[in-house]
Amino acid sequence: MEPVSDSLVTCLTKLDITVLSHLPDDVIRHPKVLGQLVQWPSPQGILTVLSHISENQSMQSAAVLSFNQASTDEDRASLIKLLDDCRDIVLNINLQKLLQQLNLFSCLPDHTVTSISCVNAVAPDHLPPVPVPRRMLLCQESRDRRVALQLGGQIESLQDISREILLKMHPDREEYLLEQKQQFMRFFMDELLSDRSLCQLARSIKFLTTSSNQLKAVEDLYNPCHKLLKEVLADDSFPQGEDDFIDMLQKLGLKDENQVTSEEFLQIAESLNASNDHPDSIRRAQSLWTLLTSQISRLDSRTLHELSQFRCLPALHAKSMPDSYPCDLPAAFPEAVLVSPQDVYPYQYLALVGSVAPVADERLSSHELIQKLFKQEVPVETVLKHLANITKFYNTHNSFKFRAQLNSVYSYFDKNKENEILVKALSESPCLLVENEAVFLKPASFWIEDNIDDVVLRPYRYRMSQEMTMWQTLFVACGTRIRQDSGLLLEVLSEIQAKHLRKSSQREINRDLKLVVQILETLKDYPPEERRDIILPIAHRERQVLRFRPAVECTVGDIKWLMEAESQCSGDEEVVFVHPKVPVGTALALVL
C-alpha cells in the first residue's frame, strides 16, 4: 500500500483527521481498531473516515470550518486528486453534502475560492475573454471538472454565458467597457457565428467605430463590399477594418441594399440637392438611381413624392445622348446636370423635347414605378420649341436621324390637331421639309395630291412627299392645299408679282416668267369664275423688270404689232400689252 503523501496528510489534518505514521503491533492486532476506529491510509479508507465525520453534524461543521479557513491551493489540489481517484466509488448523501461545503474550487469572475454549495455552475472549457456575467467555478484541469460534476456541479454552456454577456452589453445596459465589448465580439465572431439566435443579439452591440468616430452596431452599418452602397452612402455608414474583419462582420449580418430605409434615401437625395453638379455628385446620383431601380417598390407614396422634388436625378446631356439623337442637334444640357424627377421627361419623349427640356435615360424610364415620378404630359409649346431647333440645325449629313425626330414630332402634333394654339403656331412656322433641298417652309407652301397635269411650282410651292401624307389632316388644317387648283396657282402668281416689285436679276426674271407662262397655260382651261381677277405679265420698255396687271386692263397683240404700237404711242395714253412671251391664244383666252 502506498503511503499517504505529505500534502494529503496536511490536507486531512485541516479536516480534523489525524494521520498516524505507525501504531504498535498490539494495537494493530486489536479487532476493533483497524478498519473501525482506525482506517488504512487508502482512498477508500480516507472516504470512510470522511463519511464518519459527515454523519456527525458538529464534527462536520468543525471540519468544514477548519478546512475552509486554513486550506491552501496545495491542500485543495490534494483532496481533489483523492476524490478523482475515487470517482468510481459512489458517495453517500452525507459525505456528498460534506464535500459540497468545502472550498475546493476557484470562482469566476474574481478568482476567489468557493464550494459547490455556494456556486454549482461550472464554467466551460473555452471561456470568453471578458469577465463572465455571474459567479461560476473555474475548472481549468479536467480533474477539477470531473470532481465538480461528481459533487453536483452543472456545466454552463458557452452559448448561455455569451447570451448573458450580450444582454449586459446591450445599449440599454452597457455594463462592459468598449475595449471589453470589442474583445468579446471578436471572440464571438471566431467561435459563435453559427448560432443565429445569438447573432441576432450580437448585431445590436455597439462596438464599431466609424470614420466620424461614432460608435455603432453591426445592425446600424452596411456592407462596404457592396459597390453601389459604397458610392451612395456616407463613409460613416460602413465599418472600418481589415478585409478578414469585414468578412466576419458580413457573416454576422451587415445591412445590404434591401435594408436602406426611406429616410436614408431621402437624406441622400437632399444632400445631392444641396450639391453642385460636380462629377462626384453626378456619379453618386447615378448610383442612387441604380439602387432605386431594385428598391423603389419598398418606398411609400410620401417618400416618392418627396424624392421627386429633390434635384437628384442625372438628366441626359450632349455627351450621353443615344446614337439615334442627331449629333448636330443641341441637347437641353451640354454637360451633366442634376434635375428634379418631377421636372424630367421619360426617355420616350426624347424626340419631342430633347433639345429644350430634361430627359431621363432609357433604363430608368423603362422602370414603371420610377417613370411615375416623371412628367407625364408634354405641352405643345415645349414640342414647338424643339421643332424650331430641329429646323434650325437640320443638315443632310444626319438627315435620317433628323427625320426620325420630325416624324415623332408630327405624330405628336397629329394627336393634338384639335389644339387651336398648335394649329396657329404650325401655320406660321417653317416646319415642313422640302425634299432634297434641306429647307423648311410653312404648310401653306405645299399641296398633297399628285396629278400628271400639275405645274412644277418651285420655289414657291412644293408637292408634299408621300411620307408626309400620313399627317395630311393636320397639315391641311395648317394651310396645306389638298391639290393644285386654281386658287393655289393664283396665289403663286400673286407671290411672283410681289417679289418683282423689287428689282430682280435677269436670271430670276427669265425663270419666273417661264413659270408664269406655265401657270397661265393651265389656268386658261379653268372655268372663268375660278380665275376671276387673274393677273398677267405685261410688256415693259425695261427688259430687267417683270410687271403684272389685271387681265381686264391688258391688250393682246403679236410681236410686230406690239413694237409698232410702242413706237406710235404718245406719252399721255397708256396701252397695257400682255408680255410677248405669253402665247397669244392663252392671252386671248384669259383677257376675254
290-339 pLDDT, tens digit each: 999 999 999 999 999 999 999 999 999 999 999 999 999 999 999 999 99
Going by the DSSP 8-state scheme, the letter that residue 435 receives in this structure is T
Looking at residue 40, its pLDDT comes to: 64
**How far out from the chain centre does Cα 354 lie?**
24
Question: What integer pLDDT is reported at residue 90 of this predicted model?
Answer: 86
What is the pLDDT averaged over residues 340-351? 96
Cell of 389: 431647333
pLDDT, position 435: 80
Helix H or strand E encompassing 414: helix 399-415
For residue 89, the model assigns a pLDDT of 86
Concatenated DSSP letters of 169-206: HSTTT--S-HHHHHHHHHHHHHH-TT-HHHHHHHTT-E
Report, as an integer, the average pLDDT of 81-109. Answer: 91
Domain boundaries, the chain: 6-155, 158-252, 486-591
Nearest to 79, CA basis, from 116, 112, 111, 109: 116
Q: Residue 34 has what pLDDT? A: 53
Closest residue by Cα to residue 383 from 427, 342, 335, 351: 351
pLDDT of residue 14: 87
Q: Return d(Cα 348, Cα 329) in angstroms, integer.
A: 17
Average pLDDT for residues 175-181, to the nearest whole number? 94
| More confident position, 21 or 115 | 115
* C-alpha–C-alpha distance, residues 361 and 350, integer Å: 9
Query: 467-502 pLDDT, tens per residue?
Result: 999 999 999 999 999 999 999 999 999 999 999 988
Distance of CA 495 to the CA centre of its chain: 60
Of all residues in the chain, what percent carry a pLDDT higher than 70? 93
What is the spatial distance between Cα 282 and Cα 293, in angstroms, rounded to a whole number? 17
Quick one: cell of 289?
438611381
Cα torsion at 132, 137, 139, 143 (round to 10°)? Answer: -160
Is the CB of residue 273 less than 8 Å from the CB of residue 312? yes
Q: Can you list the pairs that 292-299 forms with residues at least 24 positions away whose Cβ atoms lie under 8 Å?
A: 292/265, 292/370, 293/363, 293/364, 293/367, 293/370, 294/257, 295/257, 295/258, 295/260, 295/265, 296/367, 296/369, 296/370, 297/369, 298/258, 298/262, 299/262, 299/265
Average pLDDT over residues 171-194: 93
Taking 50 as the threshold, does the pLDDT of residue 557 lie above it?
Answer: yes
**Section 71-98 average pLDDT:** 91
Among 487, 447, 440, smallest CA distance to 464 is for: 447
Q: Given pLDDT bands bounded at 50, 70 and 90, which one contains residue 13? A: confident
Q: How far apart are CA 215 and CA 171, in angstroms?
A: 11
* CA 384/CA 355 separation, integer angstroms: 11
The model's confidence at residue 47, banded by pLDDT at 50, 70 and 90, is confident
262 CB contacts (<8 Å, ≥6 apart)? 298, 299, 300, 303
How much is the pLDDT for 22?
Answer: 56
Separation of CA 411 from chain center: 34
3-state SS, one letter per residue, for 125-172: CCCCCCCCCCCEEECCCHHHHHHHHHCCCEECCHHHHHHHHHHHHCCC
Lowest mean pLDDT among 343-352, 422-431, 440-449, 552-561: 552-561
pLDDT at 334: 94
CA distances from 314 to 236, 285, 319, 455 (A): 25, 6, 12, 53
**Residue 1 binned pLDDT confidence (cut-offs 50, 70, 90):** very low
- Cα(466)–Cα(489) distance, integer angstroms: 21
pLDDT for 560: 60
Average pLDDT over residues 235-255: 92
Rounded to the nearest integer, the mean pLDDT of the chain is 90
Compute the distance between CA of residue 436 and CA of residue 430 in angstroms, rounded to an integer. Answer: 16
- 481 contacts 451 by C-beta, under 8 angstroms: no
Residue 183: per-residue pLDDT: 96
What secondary structure does DSSP assign to 26-60, as a single string? Answer: HHHTSTTTBTTTB--SSHHHHHHHHHHHHTSHHHH
CA distance linking residue 5 with residue 429, whole number of Å: 120
| pLDDT-derived band at 80, boundaries 50, 70, 90 | very high
Per-residue pLDDT tens for 153-163? 999 999 999 99
At 446, which amino acid appears? F
* All residues at 6 or more sequence positions from 317 whose CB lies less than 8 Å from its CB, including other chains: 331, 332, 333, 334, 335, 336, 337
Q: Containing H/E element for 21? A: none
The DSSP secondary-structure symbol of 531 reads: S
Other C-beta atoms within 10 Å of 119: how many?
18
Q: Among 378-382, 420-424, 556-560, where is mean pLDDT lowest?
A: 556-560
Q: Strands 439-441 and 432-434: what pairing?
A: antiparallel
Contact 132, 165 (CB under 8 A): yes
Spatial distance between the Cα atoms of 17 and 6, rounded to a whole number of angstroms: 14
Phi and psi of 211, rounded to 5°?
Answer: -65, -25
User: 3-22 burial by CB neighbour count: b if 16+ within 10 A, else e?
Assistant: ebeeebbbbbebbbbebeee
Are the C-beta atoms of 402 and 390 separated by less than 8 Å? yes
Whole-number pLDDT of residue 568: 54
- Please state, for a pLDDT cut of 90, what percent of the chain lies above it: 73
* Residue whose C-alpha is closest to residue 443's, from 423, 419, 416, 420: 423
Long-range contacts at 471-475 (CB < 8 A, ≥ 24 apart): 471/410, 471/411, 471/413, 471/414, 472/448, 473/414, 473/417, 474/410, 474/413, 474/414, 474/417, 474/426, 475/426, 475/432, 475/443, 475/446, 475/448
The three grid cell numbers given for residue 523, joined into one nine-digit string: 389656268
What pLDDT is attached to residue 2?
61
Q: Does residue 416 register a pLDDT over 60?
A: yes
